[in-house]
Chain A
Amino acid sequence: MKNVERGQLMKKHKTSKNKGNLLLTIYFMIIVILCLTTFSIFYFKEKFLSIGNSNISDYEQYNKHYVLITNNRDTAFWEVVYESAKEEAKKDSAYIEYMGKDLSINYDIKQYLRIAIDCDVDGIIIEGDESDEVARLIDEAEEKGIRVVTVLKDSLKSNRQSFIGINNYTLGQLYGQQVLEIQDKNTKRILVLMNSNDSVTNQNIIYSSIKETIRNEPQKSKSLQIDNIMVNNENVFSSEEAIRDIIMDEAISPDIMICLSGVDTQCAYQAVVDHNKVGIINILGYYSTSDILTAVQKKIIHSTILIDASQMGSLAVQALNDSIKGNRVSEYLPVDIELITLANVDSYMEKIDEGK
């Protein structure tokens, strides 16, 4: 009897202990839930408040508004220019807008220039051309008090403050030297591809410089035939079609092809690969996207020219800043160019990867 009683007593004790435990668990859970709820309330309030209309206070403010106007080709190159320009501009509390980036319609340089003038910006960095209209617009801007500098291509007739670009003559020399290196007894034709889009003057300077450099070594260049061909850019895709025609046509297909723009270089090497002319047609390219560098590595392109785009950007901004402050700015600011061949392509590839 006593055992039974004791057993009953213990059971009672156990159940009350169990109940105590359960009670504690419940209290704990209630507290956890309250914490969860409160936390989620605050968390979401915060999240919600962060979303919404952009307040002016959320962004940095600047004093000057610059604009970068380019044509829309070689956008990778101009991106680099823009980024370095932006960095440089920040130092002087100026913001550069890349005109046309967010616009739904693509305009040409004249239209962008018109817009920029009407927007009453503080400074314009423009990829110039030879047309009178552009020159006139630049003059109008200058009259309105907007400072203008040209990059890569110059508008000589205008009153622009400065030109930042490469020395075409030096470029031609580089190309010429390359030709002399590549050429052997089988080399006959050398073709320089020119664009009706780009500055004819500039391209002519390059072309004559190439010719001069090559002809300076009469032994090597005796049997060489140097020509240029103008690709008429009626539409955006003309270069690709033109290059294809050139390669396909045996009569005019060259041994060495010199391209004066990044797009042309890319079209050329693609066409050469497609039509199995690797090694038969040598390409001297322009610019340095990773595709082109890879092509140099694969020996599809012999060499290419690298323009220091970031230097160009920062120099342009410096020139603008100086001119706005009223300082004297030099007429011409040179930008470094470098030749990329199989020898140094790897280190440049690394640089690009790092940059990424």
Chain B
Amino acid sequence: MKQVIGFFRDKWYKATIRIKLVCIFMFTCSIIFIVNIFMYLNINTTIDKINEVYISNVNLNELSSALANVQNNMTEYLTTKSSQSLQEYYSSLQEFNEILNTLNTTITDSNILLMEKNIKNMSKTYLEITKETMQAKRGRNVEKYKNYYDKATDLYSYINMYINSLNNEQFRHNSENYKKLLISLGYLEKSATIVLGAVMIVSICMVYMLTYSVTNPLIDLAKSADEIAKGNLEIDLIEVKTLDEVGIVSKAFNQMILSIREYIDKIRINLEAQNKMKEKELIMESHLKDAQLKYLQAQINPHFLFNTLNAGAQLAMMEDAEKTCLFIENMADFFRYNIKKINEDATLAEEIKLVDNYIYILNVRFSGELNFEKIIDESLLKTNVPSMILQPIVENAVNYGIRDIEWEGKIRLKIFKEDNQIYICIEDNGIGIEESKIRSIMNGEIIESDLAKNSNGIGLGNVIRRLRLYYNREDVFEIKSSGRNQGTEVIIHIPYAKDI
């Protein structure tokens, strides 16, 4: 039994929705159809029975009319003695006899059947009398045939009365049957209605249940889709039980979820890989820079240089070479400053001293050709500035401005205060700088390969950048040049802070 149910259940799950709906519809329709046919057949049977019931009355009417015919024809013959009436008498006689033979002759306790027997017997007697009457008429025995005719007429009226009574009896009997049939019909109608009603309810329940199996997957699908819309991709996959259209959609939906998950994983992996790559690059860069720095640092170990120079100064002193000693001390101070101030801010005084050191060194190299002038507001000496900003500018002025000129080179350093700003100007009377070069310097487009030319490795670009960073302003640096051979002026303006 369970196997059968299981078998059907399998078939049901594999069917398409269309087939399912058609099945449900056909099932309910066929049940209703069957019930209707049943009702129809039974109603037909009832009607047939009703017909049967009244047929007995119809038969009796025939009997009655046949009897009347016999009597009338006999009367006619007696009246007219025509051969036509004689013929008709015989034919009606035959007809009457035929019907008579269908009547019952057995003795039973049914009053209807008994009446039939009586009618039959009386009719037989009647027919004998009519025979006698006709014979008497033919024999012209007037007395006799009148006598017999009276008898016959009497008997005729009795028979008629009997037939009528039988008719009534039958009718009453039939009416009872008819009532019974009506009651049966009523019961039939009621039971059919109940059955129909029950079938309808069951059908509706079945339809409800079966469409359940159709709509449930859809509802599940919708719920899952909602979950995914909220961003929760970790929902359970939909259980696919049926193989119909909805099942196919559910399968596709599941496939989609898996694919999305895979895809997201792939992207995540890719992203992670990319990030790793970038990290590597950055690390490479920083290592490279590190290496560059180390390389540069490796080139000049300032401590070594500084200590060596100090030793050289001592030597010069011991040999009473005062100028040499002074020169070497200046160099030592220069490099000491380099070492000391690489990570600190400096005061303007310290910066100026560095510039002095540098100029002295250069003057020794170029045998006093360099003319350096200072105009400084003494009150500003304690201002904090980034380290190593003045010397590189002066170096620049020397390297690019005054070198290879035919007239005497002059560099002037002016530090003054104006409108709450401190102005630091470094002027030279060199060959000047072209406008385009000024612009490229200001934009930071200086090629760092010039690094080799600088004494301390710090170029103008670096100075500008650090000044801008330190004072958080773009307009902290300015280069002016009137033209070729007109000299250059570099102006640094920094804000004046009262509390030093």
A26: B residues at CB distance < 8 A: 202, 205-206, 209
Restricting to A53-70, which residues have a CB under 8 Å from any CB of B? 53-54, 56, 58-65
Question: Chain A residues near B192 (CB, 8 Å)?
Answer: 40
Q: A120 at interface (Cβ–Cβ under 8 A)? A: yes
- Considering only residues 169-209 of chain B, those with a C-beta below 8 Å from chain A are 169, 173, 177, 180-181, 184, 187-188, 191-192, 194-195, 198-199, 202, 205-206, 209
Known: A44-B184, A52-B52. Is A104-B198 also a contact (CB below 8 A)?
no
Q: Are A56 and B121 in contact (CB under 8 A)?
A: no
B108 contacts A59, CB within 8 Å?
yes
B109 at the interface (CB under 8 A from A): yes
- Taking CB atoms and an 8 Å cut-off, the chain A residues in 16-48 that contact chain B are 19, 22-23, 25-26, 29-30, 32-33, 36-37, 40-41, 44, 47-48
Per-position 1/0 for A86-126, Cβ under 8 A of B: 00000000010100011111000001001100111000000
Chain A window 158-180, contacts with chain B (Cβ cutoff 8 Å), 1 for yes, 0 for no: 00000000000000000000000
Determine whether the beta carbon of B112 is less than 8 Å from that of A103.
no
Q: Which of B104, B161, B177, B195 contacts A33 (CB 8 A)?
A: B195
Q: Check A22–B205 contact: CB distance below 8 A.
A: yes
Q: How far is the CB of A301 from chain B (nearest CB, A)?
A: 36
| B158 contacts A by Cβ under 8 Å | yes
Contact present for B107 and A61 (CB under 8 Å) = yes
Instruction: Flag if B115 contacts A95 (CB, 8 Å).
Output: no
Q: Which chain A residue lies CB-closest to B115?
A: A102
Interface size class of A (residues with CB under 8 A): 35 or more
Cβ of B165 < 8 Å from any Cβ of A? yes
User: What CA separation (Å) do A61 and B114 show in the bound complex?
Assistant: 11
Q: Can you list, as one digit per residue, whether each of A178-203 has a CB less than 8 Å from chain B (1) or not (0)?
A: 00000000000000000000000000
A94 to B112, CA, bound (A): 17
Chain A, residue nearest B110 (CB): A59
Q: Are A65 and B114 in contact (CB under 8 A)?
A: yes
Which residues 49-108 of B have a CB within 8 angstroms of A?
Answer: 49, 52-53, 56, 104, 106-108
Residues on A with C-beta less than 8 A from B111 are 97, 101-102
The answer on a CB contact under 8 Å between A33 and B198 is: yes
A29 CA to B197 CA, complexed, in Å: 12
Q: Which residues of A contact B438 (CB under 8 A)?
A: none
Residues of chain A within 8 A (CB-CB) of B212 are 19
Q: Which residues of chain B have C-beta atoms less than 8 A from A52's C-beta?
A: 49, 52-53, 177
B54 CB → nearest A CB, Å: 10
Supposing A40-B195, A95-B109, A104-B164 touch, asked if A115 and B158 sit within 8 A by C-beta, the answer is yes
Q: A44-B184, A51-B184, A118-B126 are in contact. Are A59 and B109 (CB under 8 A)?
A: yes
* A265 vs chain B, min Cβ distance (A): 31
Number of interface residues of B (CB under 8 A): 56
Q: How distant is B270 from chain A, measured CB to nearest CB, in Å? A: 30
* B490 at interface by CB-CB < 8 Å: no
Residue of A51, A59, A101, A119 touching B113 (CB-CB under 8 A): A59
Q: Which of B164, B173, B191 sits near A40, CB closer than 8 Å?
A: B191
User: When A60-B109, A62-B109 are in contact, do A103 and B161 touch as well, CB less than 8 Å?
Assistant: yes
Task: Write out the residue numbers on chain A whose beta carbons fall within 8 Å of the beta carbon of B168.
Answer: 102, 104
Question: Within the complex, which residue of B38, B154, B194, B202 is in contact with A29, where a contact is CB–CB below 8 Å?
Answer: B202
Residue of A nearest to B104 (CB): A56
In the complex, what residues of B have CB within 8 A of residue A61's CB? Answer: 106-108
Contacts of A23 in B (CB 8 A): 209
Identify which of residues 237-256 in chain A touch chain B, using a CB-to-CB cut-off of 8 Å.
none
A114 touches B35 (CB 8 A): no
Checking B108, B122, B194 against A119 with a beta-carbon cut-off of 8 angstroms, the contacting residue is B122
Q: Which residue of A lies closest to B205 (CB)?
A: A26
Cβ–Cβ < 8 Å partners of A41 in chain B: 38, 42
Shortest beta-carbon distance from B288 to chain A in Å: 49
Assess whether B327 is interfacial by the CB under 8 Å rule: no
User: Nearest-CB distance from A110 to chain B (Å)?
Assistant: 11
B117 adjacent to chain A (CB < 8 Å): yes
Report if A65-B107 is in contact (Cβ < 8 Å); known contacts: A29-B198, A37-B195, A97-B114.
yes
- What per-residue 1/0 map shows which CB atoms of B193-236 lie under 8 Å from chain A? 01100110010011001001000000000000000000000000
A119 to B177, CA, bound (A): 29
Contacts of A30 in B (CB 8 A): 202
Residues of A within 8 A of B384 (CB): none
| A47 cross-chain contacts in B, Cβ below 8 A | 184
Q: Is the CB of A54 within 8 A of B162?
A: no
Given contacts A33-B199, A40-B191, A56-B108, 19 further A-B contacts (CB under 8 A): A32-B198, A33-B202, A36-B191, A37-B38, A41-B42, A44-B184, A44-B188, A48-B42, A48-B46, A56-B113, A58-B110, A59-B109, A59-B113, A62-B109, A63-B107, A97-B118, A104-B168, A118-B158, A120-B121
Interchain residue pairs with CB less than 8 A apart (10): A19-B212, A26-B206, A26-B209, A44-B187, A44-B188, A53-B56, A56-B108, A59-B108, A103-B161, A104-B165
Top 9 A-B pairs ranked by shortest CB distance? A59-B108, A62-B107, A119-B118, A118-B125, A103-B165, A120-B121, A119-B121, A59-B110, A118-B122
